[in-house]
């Protein structure tokens, strides 16, 4: 065997080292290529996911724009535009000052006011009639405008005229009015409030309607009526609030308000109208609107105070963290998210969405069976039929959560349902709790029809006054009471009461039907 020389050994070592370096370069190139391929594959997956999310958003947008809607979304911002604090407009010099007399051709309804025992206070002698003080109120009945004429008899004492230096004139008192010295009657106030807060008829349109009867009332006058009336019925709303806080279930929701003149805030800032309501199964439901400048959880705490019971809401975090309150969730919000996912996904990929919607449909089917049952019977039916479906639904949600994109419409719906799950089960514990919060949303939807007629509230006082009037309007509607006749009754009786009086008989649910 030929022995290798040292030079040959060195040469072989060099060749071996070169081969090792070449192999290492090839390995590095292969590793780099594999890493690049993996990166590109991840990018492709990410792009596919983004494309899927964009397609879902496009499909959902098309559905909301062109498809029929079972739940119409409110447009604009909530408002009760009042002009009490608006800057005064300078009237032209040729305009006459003072109130214009009511048209003489209107029908007059004369009310004569006399004293039962017209005797002089100083000498106890009988008084005689010495004239009449006349004032007129505008009375408005739907489709009819007339004038209420108050003739207040004046009395003087014959004896005092003979024996005293001066004689005192006594006038029969005028009936108490919600707005003293106003031209409006309870019927007129009720008509304006009902048209604005029930029929969503803006004040400027009401002004035009009144002009057809030659009644010249400015928009500012009607706005001032609304603000003053809203402020004065606050005692009724506070009494309603006490009743509401004594119930074992309260439903809550909120919507935006824009107030132009709010201290230390821009006109574009969003404020909020919080809505609190009795449960769906209460015989005498109460609806209260509470204006607040923010959407913070402290607003809820301030309203509820030491309330202890159930609170039915959507998934907004501000309702969490309340002491002595048991949270109940809204299944309608869960269904809505899955419905959006169904609209967003292609039909061939909607199997999972259909599965979730079927679970929810079965739960609502059981609620249809529960209609007309007592709370105890409803509770038993839910425990027997709804609970097993909810258990299967929850199991399906957990299994599906790891199989879908978390940022997709379906992923968002699944995650929302899982996060809200403990609250969604609360309605199983008591038959007086609803499966959803639709009853409150329906109340909000009714007054949001006025948003396209007015886009903002001028002042905080106007927003607060409107909240009080909306509270009475919606409570009347919830109790199947005609708001107009209730307001006529309230505006006649409330001025005769003192702050110390019991106002229970003036609650909307106690409204005497024979007054309508």
Question: Average pLDDT for residues 500-510, to the nearest whole number?
Answer: 93
| Residue 223 CB neighbour total at 10 angstroms | 25
Mean pLDDT of the chain: 84
| Residue 315 CB neighbour total at 10 angstroms | 18
**Cα separation of 413 and 334, whole Å?**
7
At 84, the pLDDT band (50, 70, 90 cuts) reads: very low
Burial 268-283 (b: 16+ CB within 10 A, else e): eeebbbbbbbbbbbbe
Between 489 and 122, name the one with better pLDDT: 489
**What is the DSSP-derived secondary structure letter of residue 317?**
G
Question: Average pLDDT for residues 53-73, to the nearest whole number?
Answer: 59
Whole-number percent of the chain with pLDDT over 90: 50
Question: Average pLDDT for residues 477-505, to the nearest whole number?
Answer: 94
Question: Average pLDDT for residues 306-331, to the nearest whole number?
Answer: 92
Q: Give the pLDDT confidence score for residue 54 in this predicted structure.
A: 65
- Model confidence at 196: pLDDT above 70: yes
- Range list of H helices, 345-449: 351-370, 375-381, 387-401, 409-419, 421-424, 438-447
pTM over 0.85: no
**Cα separation of 221 and 224, whole Å?**
5
Least confident of 2-11, 28-37, 333-342: 2-11
- Model confidence at 24: pLDDT above 80: no
Q: Which long-range contacts (CB under 8 A, 24 or more apart) does 410-413 make?
A: 410/338, 410/341, 410/345, 410/352, 410/353, 412/337, 412/341, 413/334, 413/337, 413/338, 413/340, 413/341, 413/353, 413/356
Q: Give the C-alpha distances (Å, rounded to integers) separating 480 from 116, 159, 474, 485.
A: 40, 58, 10, 12
Q: Give the pLDDT confidence score for residue 168 in this predicted structure.
A: 87
At 83, the pLDDT band (50, 70, 90 cuts) reads: very low
E strands, 158-196, where? 170-171
Q: Give the pLDDT confidence score for residue 96 in this predicted structure.
A: 64
250-309 residue pLDDT tens: 999 998 877 776 776 776 778 888 999 999 999 999 999 999 988 899 999 999 999 999
Q: Give the pLDDT confidence score for residue 481 in this predicted structure.
A: 94
At 78, the pLDDT band (50, 70, 90 cuts) reads: very low
- Model confidence at 393: pLDDT above 90: yes
Strand bridging mode 325-328 / 309-312: parallel
406-454 residue pLDDT tens: 788 888 899 999 999 999 999 999 999 999 999 998 888 766 766 556 5
- Model confidence at 92: pLDDT above 70: no
Name the token pair of 232.
């004065």
At a CB cut-off of 8 Å and minimum separation 6, what does 296 contact?
Answer: 318
Q: Give the pLDDT confidence score for residue 403 in this predicted structure.
A: 85
Least confident of 161-175, 180-194, 210-224, 238-252: 161-175
Q: Give the pLDDT confidence score for residue 14 in this predicted structure.
A: 75
Whole-number percent of the chain with pLDDT over 70: 83
Q: Which of 343, 405, 410 is closest to 50 using CA atoms?
A: 405
Q: Give the pLDDT confidence score for residue 458 in this predicted structure.
A: 73
Question: Average pLDDT for residues 356-364, to the nearest whole number?
Answer: 94
Q: Give the pLDDT confidence score for residue 456 in this predicted structure.
A: 57
3-15 residue pLDDT tens: 656 666 677 777 7
Nearest 5 degrees, angle CA 351-CA 357-CA 361? 140
Q: Which of 245, 214, 244 is closest to 147 using CA atoms?
A: 214
- Model confidence at 89: pLDDT above 60: no
């Amino acid at each position: 065997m030929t022995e290798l020389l040292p030079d040959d050994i060195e040469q072989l070592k060099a060749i071996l080292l070169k081969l090792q370096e070449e192999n290492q370069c090839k390995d590095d190139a292969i590793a780099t290529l594999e890493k690049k391929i993996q990166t590109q594959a991840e990018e492709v997956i990410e792009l596919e996911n983004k494309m899927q999310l964009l397609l879902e958003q496009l499909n959902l947008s098309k559905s909301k724009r062109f498809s029929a809607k079972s739940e119409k979304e409110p447009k604009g911002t909530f408002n009760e535009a009042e002009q009490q604090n608006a800057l005064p407009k300078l009237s032209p010099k040729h305009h006459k000052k003072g109130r214009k007399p009511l048209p003489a051709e209107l029908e007059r309804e004369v009310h004569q006011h006399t004293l039962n025992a017209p005797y002089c206070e100083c000498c106890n002698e009988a008084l005689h009639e010495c004239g009449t003080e006349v004032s007129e109120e505008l009375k408005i009945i739907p489709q009819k405008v007339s004038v209420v004429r108050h003739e207040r008899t004046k009395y003087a004492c014959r004896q005092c005229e003979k024996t005293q230096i001066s004689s005192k004139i006594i006038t029969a008192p005028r009936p108490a009015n919600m707005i003293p010295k106003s031209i409006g009657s309870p019927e007129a106030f009720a008509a304006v409030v009902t048209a604005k807060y029930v029929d969503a008829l803006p004040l400027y349109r009401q002004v035009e309607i009144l002009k057809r009867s030659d009644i010249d009332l400015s928009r500012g006058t009607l706005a001032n009526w609304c603000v003053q009336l809203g402020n004065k019925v606050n005692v009724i709303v506070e009494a309603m609030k006490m009743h509401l806080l004594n119930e074992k279930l309260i439903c809550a929701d909120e919507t935006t308000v824009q107030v132009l003149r709010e201290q230390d805030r821009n006109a574009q800032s969003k404020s909020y109208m919080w809505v609190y309501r009795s449960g769906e199964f209460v015989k005498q439901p109460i609806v209260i609107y509470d204006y607040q400048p923010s959407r913070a959880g402290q607003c809820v705490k301030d309203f509820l105070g030491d309330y202890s019971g159930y609170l039915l809401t959507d998934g907004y975090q501000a309702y969490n963290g309340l002491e002595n309150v048991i949270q109940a969730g809204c299944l309608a919000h869960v269904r809505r998210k899955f419905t959006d996912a169904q609209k967003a996904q292609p039909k061939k990929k909607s199997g999972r969405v259909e599965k979730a919607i079927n679970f929810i449909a079965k739960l609502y089917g059981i609620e249809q069976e529960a209609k007309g049952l007592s709370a105890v019977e409803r509770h038993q039916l839910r425990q027997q039929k709804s609970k097993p479906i909810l258990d299967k639904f929850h199991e399906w949600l957990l299994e599906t959560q790891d199989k879908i994109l978390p940022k997709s419409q379906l992923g968002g719906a699944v995650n929302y349902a899982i996060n809200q799950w403990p609250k969604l089960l609360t309605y199983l514990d008591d038959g007086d709790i609803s499966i959803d919060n639709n009853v409150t949303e329906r109340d909000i939807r009714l007054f949001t029809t006025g948003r396209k007629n007015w886009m903002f509230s001028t002042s905080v006082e106007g927003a607060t006054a409107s909240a009080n009037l909306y509270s009475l309007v919606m409570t009347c509607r919830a109790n199947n009471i005609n708001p107009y006749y209730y307001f006529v009754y309230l505006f006649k009786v409330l001025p005769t009461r003192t702050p110390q009086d019991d106002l229970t008989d003036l609650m909307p649910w106690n409204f005497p039907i024979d007054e309508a």
